[in-house]
A = this chain, B = another copy of it.
Amino acid sequence: MTQSEENYLKAIYHLTTITDTDVSTNAIAETMETKASSVTDMIKKLAEKDLVNYKKYQGVSLTVKGSLAAKMIVRKHRLWEVFLVEKLDFSWDEVHDVAEQLEHIKSEKLINKLADFLGNPTEDPHGDPIPDANGDVQKVEKQLLSELNIGQNGICVGVKDTSSEFLKYLDKQKISLGSQIEFLEREEFDLSLKIKVDHTILSISNKIASNIFMKLN
């Protein structure tokens, strides 16, 4: 399997997890920053290899084989992210691009040894679940901070946007995985939220709040 094929599979996998329907050519093109015609070409190749189900004009879905392959790539991506943060002192906003490369390294032994070395973590530095060696993904129930009701509190367990800009903003506000957050008040004018993070009170926009995953206490 080529790197390009792997990247397409991963993109389809991610789109599937958020929409839960067949994935459109254009959606793939957009997330991969490529052209729809290129996507069509690749889809045909993946279908030929029995990695996706494809009927012209109807979008694609992953086969069992394709889904497993995609999850193995995600597993590698996230394990490498843990390695970079835990062992090499990268911060959580610096790991993605390197992990994009490392996820394509082919060696069963390497990835399992790496997992052991890291203590078989189940989550990456952004709170996303790491599929195990069989492709099983542990599903944690979590909800967006923007969807909490006033007075509810919990801990930050993940982020939706993993862009460097967003993560650096969170660093600045001292919000990280594990932070205790309480939803104090909503400003109806701009839908911003007043929250308490580990004893300090601050105000964040709705956009920010809708990119933070919470687990209620």
Identify the A interface with B (CB < 8 A). 84, 87-90, 94, 97-98, 101-102, 104-107, 109-110, 113-114, 117
Inter-subunit contact A88/B110 (CB<8 Å)? yes
Query: CA separation between A84 and B101, bound complex, in Å?
Result: 18
Q: Quick one: copies of this chain in the complex?
A: 2
Q: Which of B87, B94, B98, B102 interacts with A117 by CB under 8 Å?
A: B87
Query: CA separation between A102 and B106, bound complex, in Å?
Result: 10
Query: CA separation between A102 and B107, bound complex, in Å?
Result: 11
Q: List 21 A-B contacts (CB under 8 A).
A: A84-B110, A87-B117, A88-B110, A88-B113, A88-B114, A88-B117, A89-B113, A90-B109, A90-B113, A94-B109, A97-B107, A98-B105, A98-B107, A98-B109, A98-B110, A101-B104, A101-B105, A101-B106, A101-B107, A102-B105, A105-B105
A-B pairs, top 6 by smallest CB distance, nearest first, are A88-B113, A98-B107, A101-B105, A98-B110, A88-B117, A87-B117
Query: CA separation between A104 and B98, bound complex, in Å?
Result: 11
